[in-house]
Structure formats: structure tokens, C-alpha cells
Amino acid sequence: MTHQDVLSGGQPGAAARCTLVTRWTPPTATERGRYLFTLTNGTGERLKGFRLAFCGPARIDLKAPAPDNALLLRRFSNFTEVAMLGDGVVEPGESWTFLIHGTQAPLRHFTDAARTSYVTLSNGKILPVDVGYSVSDAFGAGEPKFGYDEIGPLGDIVDGLALAPWPANVKVSGSRAAMPMSVATDGVEQAAAVNAFRDIAATVFPQHIFIGNGLQAIAVRLQKADLAAEAYRIVFGETVILSAAGEAGWLYGLITLGQILRGAWEAPDACRFPETGQIDDAPRFAWRGSHLDVARQFYPIGEIRDLLAIMAWNKLNRFHLHLTEDEAWRFEVAAYPELTAVGAYRGADMPIPPLLGSGPEASGGHYSKADLKALVATAGAWGMDVVPEVDVPGHSYAAIAALPKLRDPGENGEYLSIQGFPNNCLNSGVPFVREFAEAVFAELMDIFPGKWIHVGADEVPDDAWETSPAAKARLAEIGGGGWHELQADFLKRVYGQIRDAGRVVGAWEEGAHGGGIAPEGSYLVAWRNAAIGAELAAQGYDVVMSPGQAYYLDMARSTDWWEPGASWAGVSSLQHTYEFDPLDGFAKEHQGRMIGIQACIWSEPMSDRRVFRRLVFPRLSAIAETAWSQEKNRDFKRFVAVARFLPYRPLED
């Protein structure tokens, strides 16, 4: 399909469009949910012999009764295509209504429903369809919530300091005029810290000048001190003395001063720049991170850089970049150019159809090696390590679609992932799979020189590879077993390759299945619940806590239909996210295995950047404060009051 095959709409002189309206009636004890669709023909031409396609996070239940008044032609994950029964026609101005009986999981929020749609005419032409926000009988009429509406009173700000994360020890007094800083540096490291701060601040708050050169400035002098690598000390006086062991500490100290200045500028009646006193600070956890899923939705490199700046302002230091999924493959691999030529794009009549709110036109994108190396350099300058993830052996549909040689040609059955992708797992019994994985991870480690390489290892279906002769032969070679053993067989090779390169292997919690990822030289991310993290720590694994119930930022903030997001793991208000204790359930002797926490930004509901902002901010800052601040210093009222000063603006509409 070419762009010319998609008829334009919505612009002067363009063809009038059809519209699609959906309504959801939740299931009861005796009835399935009712998913009602109404297509109205606004084209001025009769529609006959056409197909209607739509997609959004919700997936049609293939075990449900057939739709009423429609023929189900195809369901591929969350992409669905239907047709009218018989010789049905929709005349200009008239509508066609049909009912789907239930979905794989109930719709709970308006973002679960169809977000994009198109009609394919009998001659192959494609008409985009305008899709309205879905309504639910359980909630009635309403409006999507896109803004941020949880701001506490300024009176709850402690010591007049607009700081988040809150420092370890604060003792300040007095107030002086809040002016830009004039920073004296001595040496390359100090200059690098100042330049990094200047870049971060200009990205998140371009309206402010934090570092000036005139006489009307607060003099700041950086000096060396015997402190931990990320710790700093600020002594307020006529000249502000910022002490640290090196670049990271100076950068975090400058960010603290920048936060104080911003509060004093924006709310001078409630906030101040201290005249005297001291701040001593160091992080609670070494691993303070955020993940970003760039496979379900594509984020241009500039938007990712904006997010890195916000992360730095929040003193986060690990960026987990989720590069591959069933839906897309996003990074350039010289050995296999098909991975991005085919796997990075989706659209009508393409190997990967429209998914999660993408339209019929070819959409998506990928990152060149130069893009990613530049991102790594920026992150490094801003105090962050980039942790790349190639998710294997599951979640590999895009790779398999691009390189059919990855399949076992003798496989004669079909299994489905939990997200509805068929036969989406790399098969360790296929020799080319082993060659492929070795080449991909070699190139990945060339692009990303940091300590950690994440290999995914999550959500392999229990019946994966059951009808594969190659898999059965491989099982016989390794002594039998089932899918756990096959996954472990695959992961052991990847683990060995990464360890031999001197790196640390990361995986989701399922990496422990069958011993594929050994505790030595690895870490696992606990995501299903907090108890799993404690169990993994007891088994000797280093653990990063990211339970979906609190730290998955695609989860909606309440049960309201008009809240964007998902809620398969529950809902997570700002207060719940802030007050969640990541060490809850850890035996005292195993707490040292919990190396830190991270947010996870999964992108299924985020086709609209307004949804991204509603879901991510300021919950990302709440997680950052948990990661940095001592437990005794955390105060939700103070945090919510200060949240008004935090940056929310990366990612344009």
C-alpha cells in the first residue's frame, strides 16, 4: 500500500469522511460485555462491498459468539476487520450498527476502545474514518481527563524550598534575592557539570535563565570534597559553596539550586532562596530509573531527549530503553536491514497491520546507530546510563515478520501470546535463531557501551513451540523438559555472550525460569507484584522493583472511565504511587539485594501525547523521590505542593 492509496480527509477540498462511534456496556454475572459500533457514511457516496478495520488496546475475544449484524474477517492482536453481512449497503448519511459480544479483557477506560479506523472499498481504496471517544453505559457522558489537577496548597511547602526529591538533611534560614547564578569552575569536570546543568535546565524550563554572567547574580563556587559519587553539600552564604566528589554530585547540587530558584521565582510569597544554612544530600538507592517503551508507539529522538532532561531534573540515573516488541523493531542492525525496513512500520496491508491507534498509512520509525550513540552521549553527560532492551525470546513477532527464516518451517500449529500475537517467540531449536541473536546483541553492545544489557525474557506462552519439530529435537538434545527449559536454553547463550563481554545481564522476573539467567552478573526487574521481588532477592538475584500496581505509568489514576490508561494491574493514584514502599515484604537480610526502583512507561494507551502527560507526570517525580529521598523525609503533602514547579512539558502534541 502506498500513501496515495489512502484518500485524504479533514483538509479543505478533501473527501468527506465516515465516522465511527463506540459504546461499551460492562459484563454482568450472566452476560458478556457489549461493544456496540456505529459507522456513519459521511462521504456522499454509497458504501457497498467494503471492509471496516479498527484498532485500539482492546482485543476481540475469539471465543465469544459471532458479532451481531457483522462478519468478523480478521483479528490480529488489537487489530480487527469486519464486513457487513450479505449485500449490505450504507447509503450517504445513513449508518450501520453492529455488536461485538465481549473482549478478551473488559474495557475499563475510554483509551481501551478503538482509537483509529478505516474503510477499504471493493476497489482497494482506503478511506480513513474519524473515531470519537468511546462512552460507557457504566459512566455516561463525560470528557477525557488530560490535565493535571492535584496541586496542594503552597502552605505545605517545607522551609520555603521547592525541592523534589527532598534532600537527606536540610537546615537553612533567612532569604536573599533570587537571581541567576554565576558559577565559578576549576577544571574539566566542574565545567562539564555546569554545562550539563545549563542544557538540562534550558530543555525543561526554557523561559528561565538559571546561570547568568552579570553582577546581579548569586555567586556559586564548586569545590572538591570527600563524598560519595552522587552526594553533594551546599553551604549557603554570601558565596554559595557546592561541594562534591565529582561531576555527578556537582550536577545534582546545581539541580537542587535550580529547583530552589524556580520556586522562588514562581511563588515568591511561599518560596525562598536561603541566606545561610546547609543542605547535605545523597541518594537512597543506586538504581533510580525510568523505562520507555518506544515499540508500541514511536517517539522521535528529540522527544526522548526531552524526557531524559526531565529525568535528570528529578535526579534519575538509569534510562531503560525498550527497543523491540511484537509491534515493532526500532533499532538499526547492519547484519539484518530487514528488521527496520519491515519491522519498524505498520499500516494497512503491511506485514504488521495498524495497532494501538495507528492508522492505515505506513507509520512508525526507527533509530539509526548515530541517533542512539548521540542519545547515549547526552544521557552520560546528564548523569544517566542507558540500558537497552531487546526483548527475547518472546515478544518477537516484528523480528519474525521481517526475517521468516527465524521460524521453524515444520511448525504446524499456532499459539498466541497474551497480547494475541501468533507464534511470536524465537525458537532455540532453529540454528538461524542462535546466529541471529548473537549478531543482534553484538551490534547492540557496540552501540551501547554501558554496564547493563537487558534481554527481556518475559511472557513466553506456556504452549510456545509445542508443534515445532526443531524445538522437540532441541529438547531431546538438552535432556527434555518444556517451554521453561527451551527458554532457558536460549537465554543461557545470550547470557554467556553478554557476560563474556564484561557486561551485566538484565531481564524481567521471568528470566529466572529454568535458570536461564543466573544470579551472578545479572539483575531482574520484578513487575507483577512486590512479593516476587522479595522472592527473587531470597534466591540471590539483584532486584530492581517496578511492580505494576504502583510503578507502571500506563495504569490509570482512578477507576473513572474518563481517566486515560489501562488498569489490568489495578489503578494507581498519585498518592498510592508516592506512598508505595518498594521494600515491603523483603526480609532484612535480603534488602541489600534490592538495588533500586524504576518507573515503566508502557505505551499501549499513549497514541495521544496528552495521555502521556496525564499518566506520566507527576507520578514519575513521585517515584524519583522514593528512589532518592530517605524514607523518613518523604511527605506527600509537601510533595504535592511542590509538584506545581516540576517540569511536565517534554513530548509535544
| pLDDT (tens digit per residue) in 403-425 | 999 999 999 999 999 999 999 99
- Consecutive H or E run containing 90: strand 89-90
| pLDDT, tens digit, 9 for 90 and up, residues 493-520 | 999 999 999 999 999 999 999 999 999 9
Query: Shortest CA distance to 410 belongs to which of 499, 490, 470, 340?
Result: 470
pLDDT in tens, 343-394: 999 999 999 999 999 999 999 999 999 999 999 999 999 999 999 999 999 9
pTM of the entire predicted model: 0.96
652 pLDDT above the threshold of 90 = no
Q: What letter does residue 85 receive in the DSSP assignment?
A: S
Cα first-last separation, the chain: 27
pLDDT tens sequence across 50-92: 999 999 999 999 999 999 999 999 999 999 999 999 989 999 9
Please report the pLDDT score of residue 151 as a whole number.
86
Q: How far is CA 361 from CA 49, 120, 349, in A?
A: 21, 12, 10
CATH of 3-136, one of 3.10.20.30, 2.60.40.290, 3.20.20.190, 3.40.190.290: 2.60.40.290
Question: Is 60 exceeded by the pLDDT of residue 15?
Answer: no
State the cell numbers at 390.
531487546
pLDDT tens per residue, range 544-567 = 999 999 999 999 999 999 999 999
Polymer length of the chain: 653
| pLDDT classification of 649: cutoffs 50, 70, 90 | low
Q: Give mean pLDDT, residues 184-196.
A: 96
3-state DSSP helix/strand/coil % of the chain, to nearest 5: 30, 25, 45
Looking at residue 56, the DSSP 8-state letter turns out to be S
For range 480-490, the mean pLDDT: 92
Q: Which one is predicted more confidently, 215 or 395?
A: 395
Residue 102 confidence (pLDDT): 87
CA distance 184 to 239: 10
Q: Quote the percentage of the chain above a pLDDT of 70.
A: 97
CATH code for 169-281?
3.30.379.10
Q: pLDDT at position 369, please?
A: 97
Contact 292, 299 (CB under 8 A): yes
Sort strands 240-244 and 287-293 into parallel, antiparallel or unpaired: unpaired
Q: Are 377 and 392 in contact (CB under 8 A)?
A: no
Asked if 533 contacts 584 with a C-beta cutoff of 8 angstroms, the reply is no
pLDDT at position 3 over 80: no
Cell representation of residue 363: 507509520
Taking residue 34's Cβ as centre, other Cβ atoms within 10 Å add up to 17
- Give me the pLDDT at residue 4, please: 30
Which of residues 498 and 653 earns the better pLDDT score?
A: 498
Which H or E run contains 385? strand 385-392
User: What are the strands of the beta sheet with 169-173, ordered from one edge?
Assistant: 169-173, 276-281, 232-236, 240-244, 218-224, 181-184
The average pLDDT across 459-468 equals 95
Interval 272-319: pLDDT, tens: 999 999 999 999 999 999 999 999 999 999 999 999 999 999 999 999
User: Residue 651's pLDDT is what?
Assistant: 41
User: Three-state DSSP class for 287?
Assistant: strand
485 grid coordinates: 527449559
Residues 597 and 622: beta-carbon distance below 8 Å: no
Q: pLDDT for 100-150, tens place per residue? A: 998 999 999 999 999 999 999 999 999 999 999 999 999 988 999 998 777
User: Does residue 13 register a pLDDT over 80?
Assistant: no
Fold (topology level) of 325-353+389-518: TIM Barrel (3.20.20)
CA–CA gap between residue 118 and residue 127 (Å, rounded):
6
pLDDT at position 7 is: 33
The overall average pLDDT reported for the chain is 94
Q: Is the pLDDT of residue 11 over 60?
A: no
> For 630-652, what is the mean pLDDT?
86
Domain regions of the chain by residue span:
3-136, 169-281, 325-353+389-518
